[in-house]
Amino acid sequence: MAEAPLVLVGIDGSDPARTALVWAADYAHAVGARVLVVYAWEPAAVWMGYPYVPDPDESAPEESLREVRRQVDATLAEAGHSDVPIEVEFRRGNPAEVLVDASAQAALVVVGRRGGGGFAAAIMGSVGRHVSSHASCPVVVVPH
Protein backbone atom coordinates (compact mmCIF):
# COMPACT_ATOMS: atom_id res chain seq x y z
CA MET A 1 0.00 0.00 0.00
CA ALA A 2 1.34 3.44 -0.94
CA GLU A 3 2.17 5.95 1.73
CA ALA A 4 -0.29 8.84 2.13
CA PRO A 5 0.77 12.08 0.43
CA LEU A 6 2.62 14.60 2.57
CA VAL A 7 1.33 18.11 3.22
CA LEU A 8 4.07 20.36 4.58
CA VAL A 9 3.09 23.39 6.65
CA GLY A 10 5.45 26.01 8.00
CA ILE A 11 4.65 27.57 11.35
CA ASP A 12 6.14 30.37 13.44
CA GLY A 13 3.60 30.85 16.24
CA SER A 14 1.70 33.63 14.46
CA ASP A 15 -2.04 33.77 13.76
CA PRO A 16 -1.46 33.40 9.98
CA ALA A 17 0.60 30.27 10.66
CA ARG A 18 -2.18 28.81 12.81
CA THR A 19 -4.66 29.55 10.01
CA ALA A 20 -2.34 27.75 7.57
CA LEU A 21 -2.07 24.78 9.96
CA VAL A 22 -5.85 24.42 10.18
CA TRP A 23 -6.15 24.74 6.38
CA ALA A 24 -3.51 22.03 5.93
CA ALA A 25 -5.30 19.74 8.39
CA ASP A 26 -8.65 20.34 6.63
CA TYR A 27 -7.05 19.50 3.28
CA ALA A 28 -5.23 16.44 4.63
CA HIS A 29 -8.46 15.14 6.15
CA ALA A 30 -10.30 15.60 2.84
CA VAL A 31 -7.70 13.82 0.68
CA GLY A 32 -6.30 11.27 3.14
CA ALA A 33 -2.90 12.92 3.48
CA ARG A 34 -0.57 13.27 6.44
CA VAL A 35 0.79 16.59 7.71
CA LEU A 36 4.36 17.53 8.51
CA VAL A 37 4.52 20.72 10.57
CA VAL A 38 7.91 22.41 10.32
CA TYR A 39 9.13 25.06 12.71
CA ALA A 40 12.38 26.59 11.47
CA TRP A 41 14.64 28.45 13.85
CA GLU A 42 17.88 30.35 13.61
CA PRO A 43 20.15 31.14 16.56
CA ALA A 44 20.60 34.84 17.25
CA ALA A 45 23.37 36.44 15.21
CA VAL A 46 23.92 39.19 17.78
CA TRP A 47 24.12 38.83 21.55
CA MET A 48 24.20 41.91 23.79
CA GLY A 49 25.30 44.03 20.83
CA TYR A 50 28.19 41.76 19.82
CA PRO A 51 28.35 39.41 16.82
CA TYR A 52 27.64 35.86 17.86
CA VAL A 53 28.80 32.79 15.97
CA PRO A 54 26.46 29.98 17.01
CA ASP A 55 27.67 26.48 17.65
CA PRO A 56 26.78 24.41 14.56
CA ASP A 57 25.46 21.65 16.85
CA GLU A 58 23.30 24.04 18.89
CA SER A 59 19.69 22.88 19.05
CA ALA A 60 16.50 24.74 19.87
CA PRO A 61 15.87 25.14 23.61
CA GLU A 62 13.79 22.24 24.95
CA GLU A 63 11.15 24.55 26.46
CA SER A 64 10.67 26.19 23.04
CA LEU A 65 10.14 22.81 21.42
CA ARG A 66 7.54 21.82 24.02
CA GLU A 67 5.72 25.15 23.60
CA VAL A 68 5.54 24.83 19.81
CA ARG A 69 4.19 21.28 20.10
CA ARG A 70 1.62 22.45 22.68
CA GLN A 71 0.47 25.24 20.32
CA VAL A 72 0.17 22.82 17.38
CA ASP A 73 -1.83 20.33 19.46
CA ALA A 74 -4.11 23.07 20.86
CA THR A 75 -4.75 24.58 17.43
CA LEU A 76 -5.63 21.20 15.91
CA ALA A 77 -7.81 20.16 18.87
CA GLU A 78 -9.73 23.42 18.65
CA ALA A 79 -10.27 22.82 14.92
CA GLY A 80 -11.39 19.21 15.55
CA HIS A 81 -8.52 17.48 13.77
CA SER A 82 -7.42 14.76 16.13
CA ASP A 83 -7.85 12.24 13.29
CA VAL A 84 -5.22 13.68 10.91
CA PRO A 85 -1.73 12.15 11.13
CA ILE A 86 0.51 15.04 12.27
CA GLU A 87 4.25 15.09 12.76
CA VAL A 88 6.14 18.13 14.11
CA GLU A 89 9.79 18.79 13.24
CA PHE A 90 12.16 21.52 14.28
CA ARG A 91 14.74 22.40 11.66
CA ARG A 92 17.58 24.84 12.01
CA GLY A 93 17.94 27.43 9.26
CA ASN A 94 16.28 30.25 7.41
CA PRO A 95 12.52 29.48 7.36
CA ALA A 96 12.13 30.07 3.62
CA GLU A 97 15.09 27.83 2.74
CA VAL A 98 14.06 25.14 5.22
CA LEU A 99 10.60 24.94 3.64
CA VAL A 100 11.98 24.94 0.08
CA ASP A 101 14.35 22.08 0.99
CA ALA A 102 11.57 20.12 2.69
CA SER A 103 9.25 20.63 -0.30
CA ALA A 104 11.21 17.99 -2.21
CA GLN A 105 9.38 15.28 -0.21
CA ALA A 106 5.96 16.96 -0.13
CA ALA A 107 2.92 16.89 -2.39
CA LEU A 108 1.90 20.36 -1.19
CA VAL A 109 3.35 23.18 0.94
CA VAL A 110 1.06 25.43 2.98
CA VAL A 111 2.13 28.75 4.50
CA GLY A 112 0.28 31.65 6.05
CA ARG A 113 0.24 35.10 4.49
CA ARG A 114 1.53 37.81 6.76
CA GLY A 115 2.14 40.65 4.32
CA GLY A 116 -0.28 43.40 3.49
CA GLY A 117 0.76 45.81 0.82
CA GLY A 118 3.78 47.92 0.04
CA PHE A 119 6.60 47.80 2.56
CA ALA A 120 4.78 45.42 4.93
CA ALA A 121 4.39 42.86 2.14
CA ALA A 122 8.05 43.18 1.21
CA ILE A 123 9.13 42.38 4.77
CA MET A 124 6.46 40.14 6.30
CA GLY A 125 5.42 38.22 3.19
CA SER A 126 8.94 37.29 2.14
CA VAL A 127 8.80 33.64 3.27
CA GLY A 128 5.59 32.90 1.37
CA ARG A 129 6.89 34.62 -1.75
CA HIS A 130 10.22 32.78 -1.63
CA VAL A 131 8.62 29.38 -1.02
CA SER A 132 6.02 29.86 -3.77
CA SER A 133 8.80 30.78 -6.22
CA HIS A 134 11.25 27.99 -5.36
CA ALA A 135 9.36 24.99 -3.92
CA SER A 136 9.51 21.61 -5.63
CA CYS A 137 5.73 21.17 -5.39
CA PRO A 138 2.57 23.31 -5.43
CA VAL A 139 2.25 25.93 -2.69
CA VAL A 140 -0.87 27.30 -1.01
CA VAL A 141 -0.54 30.69 0.67
CA VAL A 142 -3.49 30.99 3.04
CA PRO A 143 -4.73 34.56 3.64
CA HIS A 144 -5.51 35.56 7.20
- Residue 16: inside a domain: yes
Model pTM greater than 0.85?
no
pLDDT of residue 122: 47
pLDDT at 69 over 60: yes
The Cα–Cα gap between 56 and 20 comes to 30
Length of the chain in terms of residues written? 144
Is 63 among the domain residues?
yes
Domains identified in the chain, total number: 1
Instruction: Tell me what pLDDT residue 124 has.
Output: 40
1 inside domain: no
Q: Which amino acid is at 46?
A: V
Domain that holds residue 126: 6-142
Q: What is the CATH number of the domain that holds 37?
A: 3.40.50.620
CA distances from 104 to 10, 77, 87, 138 (A): 14, 28, 17, 11
- Residue 64 and residue 5: Cα distance in Å, rounded? 28
Pairing of strands 6-11, 50-51: unpaired
